[in-house]
Amino acid sequence: MKQQILVPALSLVLALGAFSTSHAESYIFAVPSATVTDKGSLYCEGDANFATSSAGASGFMGRCMAGAYDGLEVGVNALGLVSKPASAAELQPNIKYQWFNKDGFQIATGITGFLPVTHTNTEEGFANLYTVGRYQTNIGALGGYAPAFSAGGWTLLGGGGNHTGSRQGVILGVEQPLLLDGSGAPQLSFAADWESGNQTHAGFSSLTPGLVLNLPHNFVMAAGYSISNVSSKYNTPAFWAGYTLKF
């Protein structure tokens, strides 16, 4: 996709990796976490990002991810961008495997493909390969209010010269429950994550803080704001809502 129609925090948008929804089990807020969707669960979601300048782009995404096996998650996202001078669409198949989970520590490795549906004569597909670790602090002492901290790295594969800026970077994240429900599970939570570098493709090189609200009957919704490392013209407020189906 051309640089002028790409905005941060859209392809890996808006999730919260510590809490009781499948979205929460797949991402921190805008980047992947070390946790995965439970085996036998299917999570589907709709996202919306809104440009704050004429140089940015508004985006809409539908995503589904499933726990295919213990520690293994597979999914696909469908992304549409609306901007000047051109709009674009993209498919994003993804897979992640959690290969370590012990004593509050989790480590996972995954890959997400970015496959253009439009502009295929000028744009190449590429992939984001990442590994991220996560540690949740003393649950016994803090109960449902125990925070979690994440760190990892990412690298872009393929794509030729279409994607300017950094091709590797680091991931940092924090997750903090703010309000618990009657069962002691997080109801309202704060999360923030950051990816280093100056990559202009959606979802990379930005700081994204936000709030997540877990609702009854496996519904969840969230709002956040992505602050680009590259330029304030790529900053975007973002919203999502999702539902988990357990088999």
- pTM of this prediction exceeds 0.85: no
Residue ranges in the chain whose pLDDT is less than 70 = 1-25, 53-57, 84-86, 139-140, 160-164, 200-204, 247
DSSP secondary structure code for residue 16 in this structure: -
- CB–CB of 166/205 below 8 Å? yes
Structural domains of the chain in order of their starting residue, each with its CATH number: 3-246 (2.40.160.40)
Share of residues in the chain with pLDDT > 70 (%): 81
DSSP structural state of residue 17? T
6-46 residue pLDDT tens: 333 333 333 333 333 444 457 787 788 999 989 999 988 88
- At 107 the pLDDT is 97
Give me the pLDDT at residue 58, please: 76
> Which pLDDT score, from 0 to 100, does residue 17 have?
33
Q: DSSP state, 27?
A: B
Q: What is the DSSP letter of 143?
A: G
pLDDT given for residue 21 in this prediction: 40
The neighbouring-strand residues paired with 100 are 107
pLDDT in tens, 198-221: 876 655 688 999 998 989 888 988
CB atoms within 10 A of CB 247: 8
Q: Which of 66, 81, 40, 21 is CA-nearest to residue 222?
A: 21
Structure-token pair, residue 226: 């992505």
**pLDDT score recorded for residue 111:** 96
Residue 140 gets which letter from DSSP?
A: H
The CA–CA distances, whole Å, from 40 to 28, 30, 72, 94, 216 equal 21, 24, 11, 17, 20
Angle at 221 between CA 215 and CA 225, to 5 degrees: 145
Q: In this predicted structure, what is the pLDDT of residue 25?
A: 56
Q: Please check whether residue 79 is in contact with residue 59, taking contact to mean a CB–CB distance below 8 angstroms.
A: yes
